Amino acid sequence: MDNVHILTYANTQSSHDQQQAASFCRPQSAVNVVALTQQLQRSLEVVVLLDTFAQFVAPYASFDGLQLHSSLGVSEMSNSRNTCVANRFDIDVEQEHLGQLVYYSHSPFSDQLCTQLKQWHQILSYPLRNALTYNRVLRLATRDPLTGLNNRSDFNIGMEKKLEVCRRQNRPFSLMLLDLDNFKQVNDQQGHQVGDETLQEFAMILKSSVRGTDSVFRFGGDEFAVLIDDDDFDTNQVVAERVQKAVHANALMSRHGVTSSIGYALAEAKDSSMSLFARADKALYQAKNLGRDTHYGEANSHALERTNLNTHNSSQNPEKNAKIS
């Protein structure tokens, strides 16, 4: 592959164009495209590809952030910042549209720089397509197709990782298990389409009720789980009440009398995935025994320490729920 040379500003460029164009440096030597290609072929991680490409472009263009907008969502280089100007480029390979690369800068890129970047994008496009294809397949293997949540397989991996951190760094976390009360009658009486819509509504409630550091999963049927990245046991109660408040406020779920029972347990360094799951499952069973539409927690393997005895807490204790933020 021939070396690519950087296009530089012409001395005759107008001062107005110079002010509007993003600055870039005049290279001392030809760009080694072969080396860049080899680096890009070493990874199937989209973020790694963006970091590698950004480092390559950085000496010649002034930008603070680089993002890829694709069917997988938005990926961005490390330490990316969204400044005032978004310079957008469509990325296509053999009539397949991969998405848009967006460079964030303080001023627009010049025509010369845009032309050069489009040539470099051809080098990036094939490794990028491979990475996107790989990640789509990976997502299909780890995502629940109905709700978009991570599935049981991904839960098992995430649980083991968190337990390992808990053992090495003495950093507890919580496992929360949830299922839907009266869900079977929705499927039986209203049909599976309404049942699917109910599951999707509950998945959205879960995602909006936790933080970005927490992970939400669907096991199948009406069974869900959350890995809560917090060593404070009381955080479980806050999350549980937030979920139940949202369920009570949801029109579809209220119409069909669907509520949620929730059990949770705080991990210990000595826990295995089976022992932690068993304690959380025991707490969920206890929540159902208390009348459903409630939550019950186990702080450790010796004692059940946190309960909510109000089986319908939205109607019996609305003030308490109203304080959840």
One-letter-per-residue 3-state SS of 158-181 = HHHHHHHHHHHHCCCCEEEEEEEE
If pLDDT is split at 50, 70 and 90, which confidence band does 83 have? confident
The highest-level CATH class for domain 15-142 is: alpha beta
Evaluate whether 44 touches 134 at the Cβ level (below 8 Å).
Answer: yes
Tell whether the model's pLDDT for residue 18 goes beyond 80: no
pLDDT digits (tens, 9 = 90+) for 162-193: 999 999 988 899 999 999 999 999 989 999 99
Fold of 152-322: Alpha-Beta Plaits (3.30.70)
Of the candidates 279, 281, 246, the one whose C-alpha atom is nearest the C-alpha of residue 262 is: 281
pLDDT digits (tens, 9 = 90+) for 234-284: 999 999 999 999 999 999 999 999 999 999 999 998 999 999 999 999 999
Domains of the chain by residue range: 15-142, 152-322
If pLDDT is split at 50, 70 and 90, which confidence band does 139 have? confident
Note the pLDDT of residue 6: 33
Evaluate whether 215 touches 176 at the Cβ level (below 8 Å).
Answer: no
